[in-house]
Structure 1
Amino acid sequence: MAEFDYGQAIGDARAKYESIAKALDTDRLKAEIKDLEQKAAEPGLWDDPDNAQKITSKLSAAQAQLRRLNSANQRIDDVETLVELGREMEDADSLAEAQTEIGKIQQDLDDMEIQTLLDGEYDERSAVVTIRSGAGGVDAADFAQMLLRMYLRWAERNGYKAKVMDTSYAEEAGIKSATFQVDAPYAFGRLSVEGGTHRLVRISPFDNQGRRQTSFAAVEVVPLVEATDHIDIPDTDIRVDTYCSSGPGGQGVNTTYSAVRITHLPTGIVVTMQDERSQIQNRAAAMAVLQSRLLVLRHEEEAKKKKEIAGDIKASWGDQMRSYVLHPYQMVKDLRTGYETSQTQAVFDGDIDAFIEAGIRWRHEQRRAVAAEAEAAEK
């Protein structure tokens, strides 16, 4: 076994730190924190709770990011000193401790590097996620509910605020669809790599003959719209239907026409909302989701034009982006990145950060490939 090269490892860590600090622009980060602190100190901040929540959330995230950067820099200095002392004293325990710490620093730097890759137009937004059951009958509906739980647990593990906005329950088990919102800086940038078709292979708990079943669910992720997005939707372009909410919620919810369904006539996009008790609140929430989807549609049309110049790339965000196999073996594998794990229960309990980070790196490489092809096509 080759001897651990402390100098090389520390040098690599310092180079990666400097690259991250440059990409995140610490001066800009400090200026942003100062600006957000001034806004957070304004007397009338909480007159608009939604805006106050956004400001305090962004401030907390920016402060945490700066602390993490400063901590990484100090830890690199400290471990370098520890290595020097260990060598001078010929202390094997100190050197072993230093090697362990270098590994931890490298992992933290890898995590921070992900932040530098979230540079898409809407990556810093909150996210609206819709899960729909696909082929597979009751197993697919059950799988859709498993995915909903997985993402809500992921949000909880990361300290993100998540709110289920609409749920359509299946007749026998599971859900036909569900929409939820994750409010956190860069929630869209992270969750957007989860968009696509998910596949589950298992012994069906709903089959009395115990046969293996393959089922599918689709995940759609859109950024939350903001007032500056200017997505105008004329009243003549939408049809609004109201109906009684379904599922848990008590008599006050289930016997009043508080649920809202909005159909965007030009595109056929349908949005339903039933989380709130008030029809007015549900309509406002549904319009926000509709605007988000139209925003993504507009962005996709713009991207399509650029893609026509660059030509198509082999990798696709299409069908079966991830497989969850529970029988005859245990494996969750992302078919785009190749990342896989046999810890299936941990994944369904929300431990999906490694998949998300691999997806972000994969997406970054795809964007680079498209940019390079477009540049070559223009020459």
Structure 2
Amino acid sequence: MADVDPAEKLKELASTLASVEAVLDLDAKNTEIAELREQSADPDLWNDQARAQAVTRRLSDLESTVNKVTSIGQRLEDLGVLYELAEGEDDADTRAEADRELEALRADIGELEVRTLLNGPYDEREALVTVNAQAGGVDAADWAQMLQRMYLRWAEKHGYSTEIYETSYAEEAGIKSTTFAVKAPYAYGTLRGEHGTHRLVRISPFDNQNRRQTSFAGIDVVPVVEQSDHIDIDDGDLRIDVYRSSGPGGQGVNTTDSAVRITHLPTGIVVSCQNERSQLQNKATAMGMLQAKLLERKRQEERAELDDLRGEGTSSWGTQIRNYVLHPYQSVKDTRTGMETGNTAGVLEGDIDAFIDAEIRWMRSNERASGD
């Protein structure tokens, strides 16, 4: 970095930030913030809990976005001063500090730039993520649990709240399936490209002959439903089972039949919730999960109809999307974007932002090409 004129780098970042600001339309956001603040000051707002929560959530998200852009703009100005100080005093330590801040700003502006691409109809929603073990026996169950941890660690690194609704443990090791929510604005838009099959190649820790094993797990990502979503569900189409929650190895989490499993008979969609002590709470949460999955199914069907009308056939990201190889070499590679890294340990610890950013750009490019 020392042999590159920092003024040129700062000019480049300032230009990118200006483009981001134009897309985000900060004037419009500030106008909406003022309106929402006025609404939130109305003492009658909380008579309608759902509307109040929607107003405060939207206000918080807008304020966060505007504050982040403003903060980055100020940091760019301060960085210019820091470089001038380092140059004027010929201070290597100050120059190194400025170089580190330059790279941090590049990453933060890049993250904002990706955010401008999240403009789908449900992108700003929270996300409901389901992980299912597929082919590969006990290794697949273990792999499903590794993926669950990867996403939870990713959310933790970003300060996003998560809630695990249901986990079905496998008999020997790992999990058969799990469903959890990522409770953050734009979580769905950010994670929807993770939908598909993830393939793991490694020396199986469950094989006493130390043979290489390939196993698969499926990721399903859907947006959390809101009151404005209209999904008709006929009670006659549901089979509701209650059972006792269990932990690894069949250990009981509690002693009452509070866990709820709902099967939507026409589609075969099954959802479960066992994180609450109350059967009624688990049922309400499971119904929300079912609505979310039916909403996503409806969206996919509508997209397929449009694709058919265009003569494009159906398109889906529900295929093998990423390979994780731990033996005989170390590599994680996305089959769609070509994004690749040898830092497999970091990826499995939740360092997946580079993959997510690449797939967001890839999806938006495909959607623009198809006219969406």
TM-score if structure 1 supplies the norm length? 0.88
Match of 1:107 in 2: 107
Q: Flag the 1:25–1:251 CA change in 2: closer, same or farther, 3 A.
A: same
Tell me the SS of whatever aligns to 2:319: coil
Q: Deviations over 1:181-215 (max 9, x none)?
A: 11110011111111100011111010011111000
In 1, the alpha carbon distance for the partners of 2:67 and 2:271 equals 40
Q: Flag the 1:261–1:322 CA change in 2: closer, same or farther, 3 A.
A: same
Match of 1:253 in 2: 254
Shift of residue 84 of structure 1? Answer: 6.0
In 2, the alpha carbon distance for the partners of 1:264 and 1:286 equals 11
Shift of residue 311 of structure 1? Answer: 4.4
In 2, the alpha carbon distance for the partners of 1:252 and 1:3 equals 60
Shift of residue 318 of structure 1? Answer: 3.4
Match of 1:370 in 2: 370
In 2, the alpha carbon distance for the partners of 1:247 and 1:39 equals 45
Q: Flag the 1:334–1:235 CA change in 2: closer, same or farther, 3 A.
A: same
Asked whether the equivalents of residues 315 and 336 of structure 1 are also in contact (C-alpha less than 8 Å), the reply is no
Match of 2:4 in 1: 4
Shift of residue 34 of structure 1? Answer: 3.0
Specify the code of the residue in structure 2 equivalent to 1:12.
Answer: E
Matches within 5 A, 1:3-22: 4-22=4-22
Equivalent pairs: percent with the same residue? 53
Q: Deviations over 1:75-115 (max 9, x none)?
A: 3334445556777x484747666555444332221111011
In 1, the alpha carbon distance for the partners of 2:251 and 2:168 equals 16
Deviates more, 1:357-366 or 1:310-319: 310-319
Q: Deviations over 1:190-243 (max 9, x none)?
A: 111111000111110100111110000000000000110011111122222222
Task: Check if 1:318 corresponds to 2:339.
Answer: no
Specify the code of the residue in structure 2 equivalent to 1:212.
Answer: R
Asked whether the equivalents of residues 130 and 221 of structure 2 are also in contact (C-alpha less than 8 Å), the reply is yes
In 1, the alpha carbon distance for the partners of 2:196 and 2:170 equals 21
Match of 1:171 in 2: 171
Match of 1:308 in 2: 308
Match of 1:63 in 2: 63
In 1, the alpha carbon distance for the partners of 2:295 and 2:314 equals 26
In 1, the alpha carbon distance for the partners of 2:101 and 2:293 equals 45
Match of 1:377 in 2: none
Shift of residue 127 of structure 1? Answer: 0.7
Match of 2:288 in 1: 288
Asked whether the equivalents of residues 212 and 327 of structure 2 are also in contact (C-alpha less than 8 Å), the reply is yes
Q: Flag the 1:67–1:47 CA change in 2: closer, same or farther, 3 A.
A: same
Match of 2:360 in 1: 360
Deviates more, 1:269-278 or 1:162-171: 269-278
Would you say how many aligned residue pairs link Structure 1 and Structure 2?
Answer: 370
Specify the code of the residue in structure 2 equivalent to 1:308.
Answer: D
Matches within 5 A, 1:29-48: 29-41=29-41, 43=43
Tell me the SS of whatever aligns to 2:245: coil
Asked whether the equivalents of residues 316 and 336 of structure 1 are also in contact (C-alpha less than 8 Å), the reply is no
User: Which segments of 5 or more consecutive residues in structure 2 lack a partner in the other structure?
Assistant: none
Asked whether the equivalents of residues 126 and 183 of structure 1 are also in contact (C-alpha less than 8 Å), the reply is yes
Asked whether the equivalents of residues 202 and 326 of structure 2 are also in contact (C-alpha less than 8 Å), the reply is yes
Matches within 5 A, 1:191-230: 191-230=191-230
Specify the code of the residue in structure 2 equivalent to 1:337.
Answer: T
Q: Deviations over 1:345-364 (max 9, x none)?
A: 22111111111111111111
Q: Flag the 1:212–1:315 CA change in 2: closer, same or farther, 3 A.
A: farther
In 2, the alpha carbon distance for the partners of 1:2 and 1:86 equals 12
Deviates more, 1:219-228 or 1:64-73: 64-73
Match of 2:156 in 1: 156
In 1, the alpha carbon distance for the partners of 2:316 and 2:85 equals 51
Shift of residue 158 of structure 1? Answer: 0.9
Asked whether the equivalents of residues 134 and 217 of structure 1 are also in contact (C-alpha less than 8 Å), the reply is yes
Matches within 5 A, 1:233-244: 233-244=233-244
In 2, the alpha carbon distance for the partners of 1:180 and 1:92 equals 50
Please give the root-mean-square deviation of Cα atoms over the aligned residues, in Å.
2.9
TM-score if structure 2 supplies the norm length? 0.89
Q: Flag the 1:15–1:283 CA change in 2: closer, same or farther, 3 A.
A: same
Specify the code of the residue in structure 2 equivalent to 1:210.
Answer: N
Shift of residue 143 of structure 1? Answer: 0.5
Q: Deviations over 1:14-37 (max 9, x none)?
A: 221111111111112223333444
Shift of residue 64 of structure 1? Answer: 2.6
In 1, the alpha carbon distance for the partners of 2:204 and 2:251 equals 32
Q: Flag the 1:156–1:53 CA change in 2: closer, same or farther, 3 A.
A: farther
Asked whether the equivalents of residues 313 and 370 of structure 1 are also in contact (C-alpha less than 8 Å), the reply is no
Tell me the SS of whatever aligns to 2:116: helix
In 2, the alpha carbon distance for the partners of 1:207 and 1:50 equals 52
Asked whether the equivalents of residues 168 and 176 of structure 2 are also in contact (C-alpha less than 8 Å), the reply is yes
In 2, the alpha carbon distance for the partners of 1:197 and 1:27 equals 41
Tell me the SS of whatever aligns to 2:294: helix
Asked whether the equivalents of residues 261 and 286 of structure 1 are also in contact (C-alpha less than 8 Å), the reply is yes
